[in-house]
Chain A
């Protein structure tokens, strides 16, 4: 009986499996910024670069989700959040960064 109660408690409150992703480091590495204004119409080179940046930023959430699923993690958070909570977690920054580079080989 006692074991049952303890086991139920252990399972119900199972610890979250967490990965950390340093999103700011990835953005810095690839020169991404969500605040970059759209270039003036007519400059096709700048327009293409801006569009690629936008596509890469759009791809990041899916790549983080894929990394979390691969690591069987419940959640992904920034290193600062994990530090604030005192959580030790696997760092998936390199994996996400590599997946992004793979998806956009032209910016490697």
Chain B
């Protein structure tokens, strides 16, 4: 009888593990992930740097252009071309920033996946789902591991570098 009870409890424990599903709300990753919030700051700083590098020169040339009369067409054309070149350079810098940002986000995404896998494995859970994959989660399910996932993520990847191709 004791052996049967032990077997039944063992089966319950193992059967339960197979269906144990955890959930993490990753929608506010930009505030909870130190890497992502740092990345956001780095992107803002780089955008400000691009503006500082290119805008004053463009403004200066536009002012010169306004000062010319219609008879100075060659000079007007030269300045317009120069403005266009600087604007193209600024756009190219922004494209490089976007690409660097995408690479950094891919690094964070991979770390989030690893954190989810680690948290699920630590509890022998069947799966750890993103909250937005679900239509409803009971507030009483005891399955929310958002804090554990972000804690693991921040240990695993405290920061991420914004590597811009120069």
Contact = CB atoms under 8 A, between A and B. Distances in A.
A10 B19 contact: no
B18 A75 contact: no
Interface in A39-97: 61, 64-65, 68-69, 73-78, 81, 85, 87
Nearest to B124: A13
B106 interface: no
A21 to B, nearest CB: 6
Contacts of A65: 136
Contact of B19 (A64, A68, A87): A87
Interface residues of A, number: 27
B121 interface: no
B136 A68 contact: yes
Contacts, number: 81
Given A7-B9, A16-B21, A77 B16 contact: no
B16 A74 contact: no
Contacts of A87: 19, 21, 126
Interface string B122-134: 0111110100011
A13 B20 contact: yes
A13 B15 CA distance: 9
A18 interface: yes
Contact of A10 (B13, B23, B126, B134): B13
A76 B136 CA distance: 5
Interface in A1-41: 2-3, 6-7, 9-10, 13-16, 18, 21, 23
B129 A81 contact: yes
B16 A14 contact: yes
A96 to B, nearest CB: 9
Interface of B: 5-6, 9-10, 12-13, 15-21, 23, 123-127, 129, 133-138, 141, 143
Per CB-CB distance, the 3 closest pairs between chain A and chain B, nearest first, are A15-B19, A74-B141, A76-B136
